[in-house]
């Protein structure tokens, strides 16, 4: 019988920055559950601890978990409130201590803000549906890898100026900073690998009063395209584990 190697356990701290609205939660789960489903498919050896940051629940120390992932959020990283400021300080501490970190959408924007980047409303407006990004710089943890990557997106703010020591790995004309990295321990992804198309569709329709009709129609039509969500979750796990090896 062929020998199989088993991955060591790895504890992921999920910094949850919002919750799924009640009408959709029963069918799709909450944001932490979406992330766990995707991560579990990529690596069954992972374990999890969830911190509901938007309810002022933050970790006491950057080392209570082996790596960290921040969820998306309807809120802005530019909001002035206690939990947003506390999260910004915590993400900055993760970077200073070179702790493995992945920021999804809001989490990527927080990573940029924490180190002096700019996050602003996009002049091009809402980004919704399936978006294709070109890969500018491939990395060893990007396995498998192709010429580009497709993910569901849902945002009206984006990173408009990168912090020092931060690289652009992927993007497109609408969102040039689609995937970024800082050093070897921090990764930001503007898209949502954790979303399924049904949830994205429901969210778009829920926001039909604030999203321009033409943008909404284009976003809904784009759901016919395939996404690379499973591939990106493999990237995330490889990144977290490889960054952990450096600490």
- Over the stretch 125-178, which tens digit does the pLDDT of each residue have? 999 999 999 999 899 999 988 889 999 999 999 999 999 999 999 999 999 999
Sequence-distant contacts of 123-126: CB under 8 A, at least 24 apart: 124/174, 125/156, 125/212, 125/215, 126/155, 126/156, 126/211, 126/212, 126/215, 126/219
Tell whether the model's pLDDT for residue 2 goes beyond 90. no
Q: What distance lies between CA 95 and its chain's CA centroid?
A: 16
Torsional sign, CA 203, 73, 111, 66: negative
DSSP 8-state symbol, 71: -
pLDDT digits (tens, 9 = 90+) for 22-51: 989 999 999 999 999 999 999 999 999 999
Domains and CATH numbers, the chain: 10-245 (3.40.50.880)
pTM of the model: 0.95
Instruction: Report, as an integer, the average pLDDT of 7-20.
Output: 95
DSSP 8-state symbol, 123: T
Distance between CA atoms of 58 and 51, rounded to whole angstroms? 6
């Amino acid at each position: 019988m062929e020998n199989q190697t088993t991955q060591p356990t790895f504890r992921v701290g999920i910094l949850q920055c919002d919750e799924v609205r009640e009408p959709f939660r029963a069918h799709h789960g909450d944001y932490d559950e979406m992330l766990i489903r995707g991560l579990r498919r990529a690596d069954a050896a992972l374990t999890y601890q969830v911190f509901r940051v938007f309810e002022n629940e933050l970790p006491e120390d950057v080392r209570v978990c082996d790596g960290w992932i921040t969820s998306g959020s309807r809120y802005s990283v530019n909001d002035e409130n206690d939990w947003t400021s506390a999260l910004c300080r915590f993400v900055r501490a993760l970077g200073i201590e070179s702790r493995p970190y992945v920021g999804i959408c809001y989490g990527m924007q927080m990573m940029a803000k924490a180190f002096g980047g700019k996050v602003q409303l996009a002049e091009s407006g809402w980004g919704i549906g399936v978006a294709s990004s070109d890969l500018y710089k491939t990395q060893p943890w990007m396995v498998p890898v192709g010429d580009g990557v497709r993910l569901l997106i849902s945002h009206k703010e984006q990173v408009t100026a990168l912090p020092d020591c931060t690289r652009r790995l992927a993007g497109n004309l609408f969102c040039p900073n689609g995937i970024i990295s800082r050093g070897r321990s921090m990764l930001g992804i503007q898209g949502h690998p954790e979303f399924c198309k049904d949830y994205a569709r429901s969210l778009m329709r829920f926001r039909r009063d604030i999203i321009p009709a033409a943008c909404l129609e284009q976003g809904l039509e784009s759901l016919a395209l395939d996404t690379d969500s499973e591939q990106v979750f493999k990237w995330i796990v490889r990144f977290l584990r490889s960054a952990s090896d450096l600490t």
